[in-house]
Each structure stands twice: as structure tokens, then as C-alpha cells.
């Protein structure tokens, strides 16, 4: 999907949402003065909600950016600067990271259509929405053993309960995380079963 997205204007939008877990409403409101590509950080303090603030107090957070996001943002800034020069007097400056070709705010419907086109081009079907990027982020974090508490902090939830309720299908049981870590700490002590089913299967054999 990321490869397919390179042919679309919202490529960096997709990369940012997938690799940081920020809400699409936060991405659409993101301004360049909240992004520090040199330090590799983004301050998620705004959204496109009517009051302009993020969803909850805990949603206001500053995140470190993966290098892939930094690279994408730099390239995106260059393309936007070129669009600004091309538009000349028709450009309306809002300081937005993700804007139309004339500098205006992105429409949610246009983002959804572009994202579905990307998914279709990637061969995974069209029945996806941009919020799936955030869901995928949570799933990837959980799969790598990140605690629910830390995931809640990353996605800006007010409590782990919110994370557990909304993403209950994406979160792996904590017990699997312990097994994975112990495998890394004691590699010569024999494999640690990933699950009770795997242990039972080996015993039966």
C-alpha cells in the first residue's frame, strides 16, 4: 500500500498516519509550524473539529517521527513549495502540511476517495477508510510487544480502557509479549512456546 501511495498527493499523509498513529482529523489540521523535521518531532495539538482542539487533553502530545516520515515530509514540503509557486496569486496560505493545490484545507471526502484508490491500486480492495491506518498502527505496536499503556500514550487516548475497548481485536494478550522478550533474553535455553496450543502440539508429537 505504501508503494502504491507514492503515485498520489496524499502519500505523505498515509505515511504519517500509518507510522505515527495520529488521527486523520489531526493530520488534516497539522501545520508546518508544529513540525520540526530537523529534530524529528511533530506536535499534535490541533484537529479539524469545530473548536480546533484535539479530541481530549491526553490527545495533545508531541511525537518522535520515524525516519521514513521525516524523509516523506521533506519531499512533500518541496512539492508543496513548487505548487505554491505555480499557483501564484491563487494560493491561499494556511500553513497546512496537507493542503489542496491552492493551499486550502483538504476535504475529508477527497481524502477518503484518494485512500480508497490507493488501496485498490495496492490490490487490497476499496472497502477501507483512512482511519484504518491508525488501527494498523495499534496492531503493529501490539504485535511488537508494546504495552497497552504506551500505545494509549502514542495514540492520545485518555486511558488504557479506551484503547482496549476500541482496539480490542488488534491488541495481543500481554502474555505473548513476555514470551517474545524471554526468547530474546535466553536464546540458548530452548524455545519458549508462543501459545498454549503450540505447547500442547509439541507435547503430543
Contacts of 184 (CB under 8 A, 6+ apart): none
Boundaries of domain holding 92 = 2-128
* CATH code for the domain in which residue 54 is found: 1.10.443.10
Instruction: Return mean pLDDT, the chain.
Output: 85
**160 belongs to a structural domain:** no
The confidence score (pLDDT) of residue 129 equals 94
**29 belongs to a structural domain:** yes
Query: Among 13-22, 55-64, 188-197, whose mean pLDDT is lowest?
Result: 188-197
Quote the pTM value.
0.78
pLDDT in tens, 93-103: 999 999 999 99
**50 belongs to a structural domain:** yes
**118 belongs to a structural domain:** yes
Whole-number Cα distances in Å, 141 to 17, 149, 188: 13, 11, 27
157: pLDDT confidence band, cut at 50, 70 and 90?
confident
pLDDT in tens, 41-89: 999 987 755 444 445 555 788 999 999 999 999 999 999 999 999 999 9
Nearest to 16 by CA among 74, 55, 57: 74
Is 50 exceeded by the pLDDT of residue 196? no
**180 belongs to a structural domain:** no
Percent of all residues in the chain with a pLDDT value above 90, rounded to a whole number: 62
**147 belongs to a structural domain:** no
**47 belongs to a structural domain:** yes
Tally the domains of the chain.
1
Phi-psi region of 190 (alpha: psi -120 to 50; beta: other; left: phi over 0): left
The confidence score (pLDDT) of residue 52 equals 44
**114 belongs to a structural domain:** yes
> Other CB atoms closer than 10 Å to residue 138's CB: what's the count?
23
Alpha helices in the chain (DSSP H): 2-5, 11-20, 24-29, 67-87, 108-121, 131-143, 148-155, 160-166, 174-185, 196-204
Q: Which residues are catalytic?
A: 23, 55, 134, 157, 167
Amino acid at each position: 500500500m505504501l508503494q502504491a501511495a507514492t503515485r498520489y498527493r496524499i502519500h505523505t499523509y498515509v505515511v504519517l498516519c500509518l507510522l505515527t498513529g495520529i488521527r486523520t482529523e489531526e493530520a488534516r489540521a497539522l501545520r508546518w509550524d508544529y513540525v520540526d523535521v530537523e529534530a524529528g518531532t511533530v506536535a499534535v495539538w490541533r484537529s479539524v473539529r469545530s473548536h480546533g482542539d484535539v479530541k481530549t487533553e491526553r490527545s495533545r502530545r508531541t511525537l518522535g517521527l520515524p525516519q521514513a516520515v521525516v524523509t516523506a515530509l521533506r519531499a512533500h514540503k518541496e512539492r508543496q513549495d513548487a505548487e505554491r509557486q505555480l499557483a501564484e496569486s491563487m494560493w491561499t496560505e494556511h500553513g497546512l502540511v496537507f493542503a489542496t493545490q491552492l493551499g486550502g484545507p483538504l476535504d475529508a471526502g477527497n481524502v477518503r476517495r484518494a485512500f480508497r484508490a490507493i488501496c485498490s491500486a495496492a490490490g487490497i480492495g476499496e472497502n477501507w477508510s483512512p482511519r484504518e491506518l491508525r488501527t494498523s498502527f495499534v496492531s503493529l505496536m501490539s504485535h511488537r510487544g508494546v504495552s497497552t499503556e504506551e500505545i494509549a500514550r502514542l495514540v492520545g487516548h485518555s486511558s488504557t480502557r479506551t484503547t482496549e475497548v476500541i482496539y480490542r481485536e488488534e491488541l495481543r494478550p500481554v502474555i505473548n509479549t513476555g514470551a517474545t522478550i524471554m526468547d530474546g533474553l535466553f536464546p540458548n535455553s530452548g524455545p519458549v512456546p508462543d501459545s498454549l496450543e503450540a505447547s500442547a502440539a509439541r507435547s503430543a508429537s
